[in-house]
Structure 1
Amino acid sequence: MGNRRYEVPRVGSWQLVLAGMAATFVACGADAGGPEERSGTVQQALSTCSYTITTNTYQGSPEYWGTITFRNTGTSAMTSPQIAFSVPSGVVCDYDEPGWTHTQSGTTCTYSRTSSLTIGVNASYTFYYSTNSTASFTAANVQISDPSCGGSGSGGLTANQKKVAEALTSIWENDTPAINYAYSENIYDGRGYTNGRAGFCTGTGDAIMVIECYNGLRSAANGNLMARYMPGLTTINNRFLSTGESQASTAELDVIGNWRSDWAASYNNTTTRADFKSCQDQINDRLYYTPAMNEAMKWGLTTALTKAALYDAFINHGEDGARSLISAANSALGNAGQVAPVIGYNGITENAWLQKFLEKRRNTLAADSTWIEAVDRVAAYEKLRRQGNWSLATAFRNDVRARDCWGTAYPSSGYTVRNINPDGTWSTPSSYTYSCN
């Protein structure tokens, strides 16, 4: 089937007009804000902790010493903070202060506590690190999370569960469980070019976030093909911000170069791949994964299956749309007052809640002549619910259509059937039988 993508119009919260549940929306960087606003909003969305960075320096040779000082501006003490930040390409983080341990993926260094550490409300903390860089720099994309803040450090998916969830979403987005970082296409949905693993759009404020991140890691002189598009992206984004409407035009990019080719090359080039992938992962997590996990925690939703269904809904419908679906599911189960947590409220179980959430999402997709083409993506989560695969610990297939779960009123979306293993690996079965049980 190739790269067949089913996209629902993604808009900002200022455009949210509901007609029952027939107009739930999809986000493609909805409500992203301007550069400074995006930076603050995105940072808080990822970390879910409230903090202020007061010092961020790295002194090269002969010191080889980095310093990040932050103040806890939240309403509760941090007890086990995690600090992540990006270093220039080729730089290696190489030292752990007592009480800390670190990992590094590409250009992202993540430091976690090996013992408890309390940082009280309004208290400041100075974190030190070292690298092999002889040159001075400023750490990029500093992110601070802590279980006390209710973020991804507490209540999220395990690494393997997240791989499974993302493999499923990638089937719906690109007809393969393999995440397509190199994807770029104008699908003529009024949002410019749709790109990468989560469909970042040039006309809605999230593709520019990926490029801003990438520019912070790699310069044009160091192989960044996308840096030259920033003036055009900024022009488009300013129109998006001033009008509140998605921008279809790609003319400002096309006069600069071949955007689609350069986007793909940025990932396909082994020299730049790690940085480009890292930025897509970061923006995806900030805009979709972490908000989804926060909503799960808020409503008392604890299973990996429910969290995976929420994660996919946030990517497909955006934050506004996903929250509208959550509210609709709550109301349908007798929680019109939106009391949180919903699980346990008047006897509501997670099984009943997920069933209702998926039904509301099915109805939303089916209510539009274009959206209905994607309705089968909801059925896979319904089949897993019926099978009781709550921890995603059993291999499964997406050999199910909405019509198999809810009747023949729904067309077939045509997704290729894949077998997904509990560690996120996958294969294509030679035969299968469609069923919702």
Structure 2
Amino acid sequence: MAVSVLSGCSAAGSAEGGPESGLDDPAKKEIAMQLVSSAENSSLDWKAQYKYIEDIGDGRGYTAGIIGFCSGTGDMLKVVERYAAARPGNPLERFLPALRAVRGSDAHDGLGRPFTEAWAEAAADPAFRSAQDAERDRSYFDPAVARAEADGLGTLGQFIYYDAYVMHGYGDTDGTVGFRTIRREALAAAAPPARGGDEAAYLNAFLDARVAAIRKEPSHSDTSRIETAQRVFVREGRLGLETPLRWRVYGDGYRIDAR
């Protein structure tokens, strides 16, 4: 059993007291990235994932980078386009036509080992890491936090929305259920705080809908990132994502200690 520990990650709104901060607070965002990495990469060291790339057999082609950008869904293409704009002539730029061609499929045509090696090597370039950060924020983090704030959710709820965006995307696609549908099903079962509902009850309804969505995807059938992580935080009342945090994913244990 792996147990990962990071100390010194507490922030305003932690168990030590102080006003709650949202997920866009730098310390809270750091925690969010560690939580996502524990599920996506079995590690809290999310910054080591800029170079990560492999085909995990989920029908989305290559999965890569800090939140699992995919060649089949198009967000990997957006990262490389951003990088090309910031660093013209970089080694990944020549793969743009191939990335456009494989979008919507799991094909590797025009990519293969030369592409995966170029991706890993590009991770040493701050401009490439910034391109990943920017696409994460534009497509996933910022819209998730904004939607959660509109629903009256605190920092934990904002993270729960963000993790759903990362794993499922916003809209439904062939064989997958997206964030939009998950939220709609949650709203049918419970009211969020913005509509006068109990926050914990609504978050559990959202997690219920998410578990159902995960079980519809054979490649993502494991629900431990919900049942032994996010559900635990709701049960413990850590609605501000207060440290210390203890959770399990895929049977491995993790913790982030208070300062």
Query: Match for residue 324 of structure 1?
Result: 181
Partner amino acid for 2:24?
L
Aligned equivalents of 1:361, 1:323: Cα separation in 2: 11
**SS in structure 1 opposite 2:213?**
helix
Q: Which has the higher helix share?
A: 2
Query: Match for residue 91 of structure 2?
Result: 225
Query: Match for residue 28 of structure 2?
Result: 161
Q: CA deviation at 1:364?
A: 2.2
Name which of 241, 246, 250 aligns with 1:397: 246
* Structure having the higher Rg: 1
Q: Kindly indicate whether the alpha-carbon contact (under 8 Å) linking 1:164 and 1:421 is maintained by their aligned counterparts in 2.
A: no
- 1:68-87 → structure 2 map (5 Å cutoff): none
Partner amino acid for 1:377?
R
Query: Match for residue 200 of structure 1?
Result: 69
Q: Deviations for 1:164-185, whole angstroms, at most 9, x for unmatched residues?
A: 1110011110000111111100
Name which of 234, 240, 249 aligns with 1:385: 234
Query: Match for residue 117 of structure 2?
Result: 261
Aligned equivalents of 1:397, 1:261: Cα separation in 2: 35
Q: Kindly indicate whether the alpha-carbon contact (under 8 Å) linking 1:305 and 1:390 is maintained by their aligned counterparts in 2.
A: yes
Query: Match for residue 311 of structure 1?
Result: 162
Name which of 53, 56, 79 aligns with 1:210: 79
Aligned equivalents of 1:201, 1:158: Cα separation in 2: 27
Query: Match for residue 208 of structure 2?
Result: 359
Q: Which has the higher strand share?
A: 1
Q: Deviations for 1:93-124, whole angstroms, at most 9, x for unmatched residues?
A: xxxxxxxxxxxxxxxxxxxxxxxxxxxxxxxx
Query: Match for residue 343 of structure 1?
Result: 193
Q: Kindly indicate whether the alpha-carbon contact (under 8 Å) linking 1:291 and 1:319 is maintained by their aligned counterparts in 2.
A: no
Query: Match for residue 58 of structure 1?
Result: none
Q: CA deviation at 1:367?
A: 4.4
Q: Deviations for 1:252-289, whole angstroms, at most 9, x for unmatched residues?
A: 223xx61111111111x3xx2x1111000000111100
Aligned equivalents of 2:258, 2:132: Cα separation in 1: 24
Q: CA deviation at 1:199?
A: 1.2
Aligned equivalents of 1:367, 1:209: Cα separation in 2: 27
Partner amino acid for 1:276?
F
Q: CA deviation at 1:344?
A: 5.2
Aligned equivalents of 2:217, 2:61: Cα separation in 1: 21
Aligned equivalents of 1:371, 1:266: Cα separation in 2: 28
Partner amino acid for 2:32?
A
Q: Where do 4+ consecutive residues of structure 1 move more than 4 Å?
A: none
Q: Kindly indicate whether the alpha-carbon contact (under 8 Å) linking 2:61 and 2:70 is maintained by their aligned counterparts in 1.
A: yes
Q: Kindly indicate whether the alpha-carbon contact (under 8 Å) linking 2:22 and 2:155 is maintained by their aligned counterparts in 1.
A: no
Name which of 247, 251, 257 aligns with 2:105: 247
Q: CA deviation at 1:155?
A: 5.9
Tell me if 1:421 matches 2:257.
yes
Aligned equivalents of 1:230, 1:212: Cα separation in 2: 7
CA pair 205-368 structure 1, distance change in 2 beyond 3 A: closer
Q: Kindly indicate whether the alpha-carbon contact (under 8 Å) linking 1:157 and 1:307 is maintained by their aligned counterparts in 2.
A: no
Count how many residue pairs are aligned between Structure 1 and Structure 2.
232
Query: Match for residue 39 of structure 2?
Result: 172
Name which of 36, 59, 77 aligns with 1:190: 59
* Structure-1-length-normalised TM-score: 0.50
Aligned equivalents of 1:387, 1:189: Cα separation in 2: 33
Aligned equivalents of 2:198, 2:108: Cα separation in 1: 47
Aligned equivalents of 1:197, 1:331: Cα separation in 2: 33
**SS in structure 2 opposite 1:398?**
strand
Aligned equivalents of 2:244, 2:22: Cα separation in 1: 22
Tell me if 1:300 matches 2:158.
no
Q: Kindly indicate whether the alpha-carbon contact (under 8 Å) linking 1:225 and 1:262 is maintained by their aligned counterparts in 2.
A: yes
**SS in structure 1 opposite 2:110?**
helix
Q: Kindly indicate whether the alpha-carbon contact (under 8 Å) linking 2:58 and 2:219 is maintained by their aligned counterparts in 1.
A: no
**SS in structure 1 opposite 2:85?**
helix
Q: Kindly indicate whether the alpha-carbon contact (under 8 Å) linking 1:293 and 1:307 is maintained by their aligned counterparts in 2.
A: yes
Q: CA deviation at 1:420?
A: 1.5
- 1:55-204 → structure 2 map (5 Å cutoff): 156-179=23-46, 180-204=49-73
* Runs of at least 5 residues in structure 2 that lack an aligned partner in the other structure: 3-20, 172-177
CA pair 371-203 structure 1, distance change in 2 beyond 3 A: closer
* Aligned alpha-carbon RMSD (Å): 2.2
Aligned equivalents of 1:368, 1:250: Cα separation in 2: 22
Query: Match for residue 236 of structure 1?
Result: 102
